[in-house]
Amino acid sequence: MTVHAIIGGTGLTELPGLTIDEAVPMETPFGSPSADILRGRYAERDVLFLARHGHPHRIPPHQVNYRANLWALKNAGAQAIIAVNAVGGIHSAMGAGHLCVPHQVIDYTYGREHTFFEGNIDHVTHIDFSYPYDEPLRQRLIAGLAAEGFLFSSHGVYGCTQGPRLETVAEIARMERDGCDIVGMTGMPEAVLARELELPYACLALVVNPAAGKTSGVITMAQIEAALAEGIVKTRAVLARALAS
């Protein structure tokens, strides 16, 4: 049976319901991952769990050691990865509390260590990244959302920005013209690193705020935290459904 790893983002630094067998500290050729990898059982399945921003939440998105995180999960036995990401909503359907299973990504980040294929390597390697998310794993998340009866979008384009600041109104307008439906700060290079390691990878995105210019007021942390508190409960239910399928 496939061993799934769950990467928890903002609001999911721990996974209630996870029976922890051990916390695995790990070093990699790329440094330390964000936190110990938790090995245990969730929804009666063997799982690994990693808090992307550390536990407690302390590592900003542009300083996450994505290479160490993915390498550590692979070496701990992960065979597929479900990533949970808190995002802003650009498309009108993506209101706070909405869930989305993106099918495409646009990378606006810069300066991040974004590949394993560099340095002292034997040959140049190019991977196909036409479809960044694993379709069978996406369909399991979609089925879990449908079974729970939550409002969700089965497709969406994830625009990944550098952070840690939120975006300007003009930047969001540009992203909307580019075709982005949601905006986050951690979707890349995580997805491409999983592909390089031949790990099926899919994203469950929770909208926690309207993107800049999509509301009359400013975006506040109080609004984001309220949406997280409600949305993470839904997220856990969907994860349990997807793992059990």
Confirm whether residue 41 is marked as ligand binding: no
Task: Give the number of other Cβ atoms within 10 Å of residue 32's Cβ.
Answer: 14
Strand 19-24 to 37-42 pairing? antiparallel
Confirm whether residue 85 is marked as ligand binding: no
Confirm whether residue 25 is marked as ligand binding: no
| Paired residues of 220 in beta bridges | none
Q: Range of 83's domain?
A: 4-113+131-244
Nearest to 134 by CA among 53, 78, 64: 78
66 found inside a domain: yes
124 found inside a domain: no
In the numeric block, which tokens belong to residue 74? Answer: 């692979």
166 found inside a domain: yes
Per-residue pLDDT tens over the stretch 93-135: 999 999 999 999 999 999 999 998 887 777 778 899 999 999 9
pLDDT (0 to 100) of residue 154:
97
118 found inside a domain: no
Confirm whether residue 209 is marked as ligand binding: yes
SS3 for 2?
Answer: coil
Per-residue pLDDT tens over the stretch 226-236: 888 888 889 98
209 found inside a domain: yes
Q: Which residue has the tokens 């949970």?
A: 84
123 found inside a domain: no
Per-residue pLDDT tens over the stretch 48-71: 999 999 987 889 999 999 999 999
233 or 9, which is more confident: 233
Confirm whether residue 132 is marked as ligand binding: no
pLDDT (0 to 100) of residue 227:
83
CATH number at residue 216: 3.40.50.1580
Confirm whether residue 220 is marked as ligand binding: no
Confirm whether residue 10 is marked as ligand binding: yes
121 found inside a domain: no
Cα–Cα distance measured from residue 46 to residue 5, given in angstroms and rounded to the nearest whole number? 9
Confirm whether residue 115 is marked as ligand binding: no
φ/ψ of 89, rounded to 5, equals -95, 125
125 found inside a domain: no
CA distances from residue 64 to 59, 85, 153, 164, 242 in whole angstroms, order as listed? 6, 14, 27, 11, 26
Question: How many domains, the chain?
Answer: 1
